[in-house]
A and B are shown apart, each in its own frame.
Chain A
Amino acid sequence: MNGTPTTLGLTGEEWLSIALTAELAGLTTIILLVLSAPLAWWLTRTGSRWANAVSALVSLPLVLPPTVIGFYLLLALGPQGAVGGTLERLGLQHLAFSFTGILIGSVIYSLPFAVQPLREAFAAIDPRVLDAAATLRASAWDRFFSVVLPLSRGGVLTAVVITFAHTVGEFGVIAMLGGNIAGETRVVSIAIYDHTQALEYGAAHRLSAVLLGFSFLTLLAFYAINQRVMSPVRPQ
Chain B
Amino acid sequence: MIEGHLRLARGRFLLDSGPFAFAAEGVTALFGRSGCGKSTLLRAIAGLDPATTGQLRFRGERWQDGRWALPVARRDIGFVFQDAALFPHLSVRGNLLYAIKRAPDADTKDLDRLAERVDINAQLDQDVTTLSGGQRQRVAIARALLMRPRLLCMDEPLSALDWRAKAELLPLIDELALETGIAVLYITHAPQEVERLASRVLFMEAGRVQRIESLRDALSRADSPLFAEEGPVSVLHGHLGPDPVPGLAGFNCGETRLTLLKPAGAKRSATRLRVLARDVALATSQPVGLSMLNQLPVRITAMHPHDDGRVTVMCALPDGQTLLASVTRHSQQALQLAPGQPVWALVKSVALMD
Q: B48 in the interface, Cβ–Cβ < 8 Å? A: yes
Chain B, residue nearest A128 (CB) = B85
Contact across chains for A132 and B72 when beta carbons are under 8 A apart: no
Contact across chains for B73 and A137 when beta carbons are under 8 A apart: yes
Q: A138 in the interface, Cβ–Cβ < 8 Å? A: yes
Cβ–Cβ < 8 Å partners of A134 in chain B: 48, 72-73
Q: Name the interface size band of chain A.
A: 20 to 34
Q: For the complex, what is the distance from the CA of A136 to the CA of B85, rounded to whole Å?
A: 12
Cβ–Cβ < 8 Å partners of B102 in chain A: 136-138, 142
Q: For the complex, what is the distance from the CA of A233 to the CA of B126, rounded to whole Å?
A: 12
Contact across chains for A139 and B85 when beta carbons are under 8 A apart: no
8 A Cβ contacts from A105-149 to B: 126, 128-129, 131-139, 142, 146-147
Interface size of B by CB at 8 A reads 28
8 A Cβ contacts from B67-86 to A: 72-74, 77-79, 81, 83, 85-86
Q: How far is the CB of B48 from chain A (nearest CB, A)?
A: 5
Q: For the complex, what is the distance from the CA of A146 to the CA of B99, rounded to whole Å?
A: 12
Contact across chains for B87 and A133 when beta carbons are under 8 A apart: yes
Contact across chains for B85 and A233 when beta carbons are under 8 A apart: no
Q: How far is the CB of A39 from chain B (nearest CB, A)?
A: 20
Chain B, residue nearest A139 (CB) = B73
Chain A, residue nearest B75 (CB) = A135
Q: For the complex, what is the distance from the CA of A68 to the CA of B43, rounded to whole Å?
A: 49
Q: For the complex, what is the distance from the CA of A102 to the CA of B286, rounded to whole Å?
A: 99
Contact across chains for B89 and A151 when beta carbons are under 8 A apart: yes
Q: How far is the CB of A147 from chain B (nearest CB, A)?
A: 6
Chain A, residue nearest B140 (CB) = A132
Contact across chains for B88 and A135 when beta carbons are under 8 A apart: no
Contact across chains for A136 and B143 when beta carbons are under 8 A apart: yes
Contact across chains for A135 and B48 when beta carbons are under 8 A apart: yes
8 A Cβ contacts from A192-236 to B: 232-234, 236
| Bitwise interface map of B from 85 to 126 toward A, beta carbon under 8 Å scored 1, else 0 | 111110000000011001100000000000000000000000
Apart from the given pairs A135-B79, A137-B102, 16 other A-B contacts in the complex at a CB distance below 8 Å? A129-B85, A129-B87, A129-B88, A131-B79, A131-B81, A132-B81, A132-B85, A132-B87, A133-B87, A134-B72, A135-B153, A136-B143, A138-B73, A138-B98, A138-B102, A150-B89
- In the assembled complex, 28 residue pairs joining A and B whose CB atoms fall closer than 8 Å, in A order, are A126-B85, A129-B85, A129-B87, A131-B43, A131-B79, A132-B81, A132-B85, A132-B87, A132-B143, A133-B87, A134-B48, A135-B48, A135-B72, A135-B77, A135-B78, A135-B144, A135-B153, A136-B147, A137-B74, A137-B102, A137-B103, A137-B147, A138-B73, A138-B98, A147-B89, A151-B88, A232-B89, A233-B129
- B interface list, Cβ under 8 A from A: 43, 46, 48, 72-74, 77-79, 81, 83, 85-89, 98-99, 102-103, 127, 129-130, 140, 143-144, 147, 153
